[in-house]
Structure 1
Amino acid sequence: MTPLFAALLLTGSAFAASLEYAATDAYVDVSEGGVPVLRYNHRSTAVPEGIGPELARGDYVSALYGLDGELLTDDYPKDHPHHRAVNWSWATIRWNGEDRDLFAVRGILARPVGKPRVTSTDGSLVITAESQWKWDDETPVVAEAVTIRIFPQEESGRAVDFDITLNALVDGLEFCGRLEAGYSGFNIRMAPAPGQEIVFHSDAADMQPRRAWADYSSAFSGGTGRSGLAILQHAANPGYPQEWRQYPELNFFQPIYPGGTPIPLSKSEPVRLRYRLWIHRGGADETKMDEQWDAYNNTSSR
């Protein structure tokens, strides 16, 4: 067991299917049967040696693990130290004629509101947290709420659901990904590993149901073979099916919303984004991925 999760044996709270957690003001660690599952950082993470303190950031999953406890994601990679495991941060936040960059941690940061809450639902663990995006780390301009639901491991894998809502707190605010290029938003930086394979799937407009999923697999260090992580888009997401984007040389993949052109963020009508991560052994199996997409969309349509 890694030191990161050693405290679970003493401080964790157990629910059905042996999911456990340890929570502080700063983060929530989740494990199952002594095997780490993930860490959600509500407050800023510790900056590694050699990385500038200005890149400290919170409000993201800083570590996501495979079914055998192998680390699937990367945080503070040397080539792009602003990249961070599993996160939802946008490169263009526009207000009063100026731009700030939440993705690159420039001029705007997600700051915690209160403490993260952990509850149990039907054998799963649910982390709920609120943050405010602060312009120049002073003025709150966006209210964010995230719910992360971690399901017990099944024979075929594990599901982790993300439900993100965004509301503007000021008039005239716009947001998008990197201008023109469109990347950032809900994105994942994977750990370097041999045998990388990235698969994208989006059904044609006349297909019913119209599925959209992506899968990334490699032989990650500490695993027993090839492991994979899939992103399943929820059909109720704005812009569905969202365009897929990959940067294989950076071990980076994501769905893109809203793209590279700023759109208004309302004070009264929130943007809601939902994704399921499916952690599995082996590479992408199209039939199984379709089944997982069906299960996700049939059980979370409300």
Structure 2
Amino acid sequence: MDASGIPMIALALCLAAAAAGAGLEPRPVPRMQAVPQPYQQISFQRDGREVARYHFGKDLDRPFIFPVIGPSGRPLTRMGHPHDPESHGHHNSVWVSHSDVNGTDFWSNNRGGRIVHQRIERLDDGPDSAAVISHNNWVSTKEGKVLLKERRTTAVHALPGDELLLVVDIELSAEGADVTLGKTPFGFFAVRLAKTIGVHDGAGTVRNSEGGADEKGVFWKRAKWMDYSGAVADGVIEGITLLDHPSNPNHPSIFHVRDDGWMGASFTQDGPRNLKLGEPLKLRYGLWVHDGLPDPKAIEARWGAFARLPAPEPPKPKGN
């Protein structure tokens, strides 16, 4: 064939390709997406707008979620204590840690314990939720060994009115030998609220499922849920409810709560617990990110829906 036929062949190929694709419809774009970002971060997005971000860089003392964005588009969490940022640099917005794992402190920074990211198992997008499954090693830097292996599922569910439900599933396995979690109020799951939401700085409100209010009424008390709400702008009230799942071994959890804007579900406040080799500890916590100051009955209904959520998918066998 001479060169003069080449343009006709190219045109024919283009027409054939166009005809083949003419009947294809674009696939639906997931409303909820977990989008990888630079510097080992994952942006959870709803309709293209970020609602939370997961940080897991290996140079961090622990992975964490920051920020958590409320329905108004404003952040509801912060990094560090509003009046003591130096000694409370470990307050990482929303985080998982514990201050006594075989005597090693994973709660504070530079105290001998680090929760080190290992790998991302998978990312999921969908019409109603997005999720990341990650693996971490709880490393004693003084001993130079791994004490716990963790598989963590962080899921963000879309709710009506731009509200959200964050669900964090934690599976901890002792590595090499049994592990003792010491008696402490610090661990496993905690939230540092924005300064203006705090009772002390912003005249915010703390309530629990048992009718307690503010620090004096909820401190070290057991509850199914703890709500912290306050102003994020003039005339705009939003908040976060920390939900304790009924499958957790210490449910209803003891809560460690302060008027300065932080709350945590304390797993070992009432005494030490042992993790035996080959017997993983599974915990589930939720965060309802909501508008306004919800009625306790509405919070109870939200807790009930959270309690009925299906369990997270188990790891798939290797090779599949």
Relative to the length of structure 2, the TM-score reads: 0.75
Q: Is 1:89–2:97 an aligned residue pair?
A: yes
Q: 2:288 & 2:36 partners in 1: Cα distance? A: 23
Q: 1:198 & 1:116 partners in 2: Cα distance? A: 36
Tell which structure's C-alpha radius of gyration is larger: 2
Equivalent pairs, count: 264
Q: Is 1:197–2:205 an aligned residue pair?
A: yes
Equivalent residue in structure 1 for 2:44, among 30, 41, 56 = 30
User: RMSD of the alignment, in Å?
Assistant: 2.5
Comparing 284-293 and 21-30, the one that deviates more: 21-30
Amino acid at match of 2:192: R
- Report the Cα offset of residue 34 of structure 1: 4.2
- Report the Cα offset of residue 151 of structure 1: 1.1
For each residue in 1:27-71, what CA deviation from the matched residue of structure 2 results, as whole angstroms up to 9, or x when unmatched?
1111223432111112257xxxxxxxxxx4232213211112211
- Report the Cα offset of residue 258 of structure 1: 2.1
Q: Is 1:214–2:219 an aligned residue pair?
A: no
Which residue of 1 is the match for residue 5 of structure 2?
A: none
Q: How does 1:163-178 map to 2 (within 5 A)?
A: 163-176=169-182, 178=184
Q: 1:149 & 1:39 partners in 2: Cα distance? A: 11
- Report the Cα offset of residue 241 of structure 1: 0.6
Cα 1:30–1:239 change in 2 (3 A) is same
Q: 1:69 & 1:261 partners in 2: Cα distance? A: 40
- Report the Cα offset of residue 262 of structure 1: 2.6
Amino acid at match of 1:149: A
Aligned to 1:267, what secondary structure does the other structure show?
Answer: coil
Which residue of 2 is the match for residue 252 of structure 1?
A: 262
Q: Is 1:74–2:78 an aligned residue pair?
A: yes
- Report the Cα offset of residue 25 of structure 1: 6.3
Which residue of 2 is the match for residue 284 of structure 1?
A: 294
CA contact (8 A) 2:37 2:43 kept: yes
CA contact (8 A) 2:223 2:255 kept: no
Aligned to 2:271, what secondary structure does the other structure show?
Answer: coil
CA contact (8 A) 2:79 2:93 kept: yes
Cα 1:132–1:20 change in 2 (3 A) is closer
Name stretches of at least 5 consecutive residues in structure 2 with no aligned partner: 1-27, 197-201, 212-221, 313-320
Q: 1:184 & 1:74 partners in 2: Cα distance? A: 18
Relative to the length of structure 1, the TM-score reads: 0.79
Equivalent residue in structure 2 for 1:134, among 139, 161, 164 = 139
CA contact (8 A) 1:92 1:175 kept: yes
Which residue of 2 is the match for residue 110 of structure 1?
A: 115
Q: 2:171 & 2:285 partners in 1: Cα distance? A: 12
CA contact (8 A) 2:209 2:300 kept: no
CA contact (8 A) 1:91 1:177 kept: no
CA contact (8 A) 2:225 2:241 kept: yes
For each residue in 1:216-258, what CA deviation from the matched residue of structure 2 results, as whole angstroms up to 9, or x when unmatched?
011125x860001011111111111111221112x11122102
Q: Is 1:235–2:246 an aligned residue pair?
A: yes
Aligned to 1:291, what secondary structure does the other structure show?
Answer: helix
Which residue of 1 is the match for residue 190 of structure 2?
A: 187
CA contact (8 A) 1:92 1:102 kept: yes
Percent identity for Structure 1 against Structure 2: 20
Which residue of 2 is the match for residue 225 of structure 1?
A: 236
Higher helix share: 2
CA contact (8 A) 2:208 2:223 kept: no
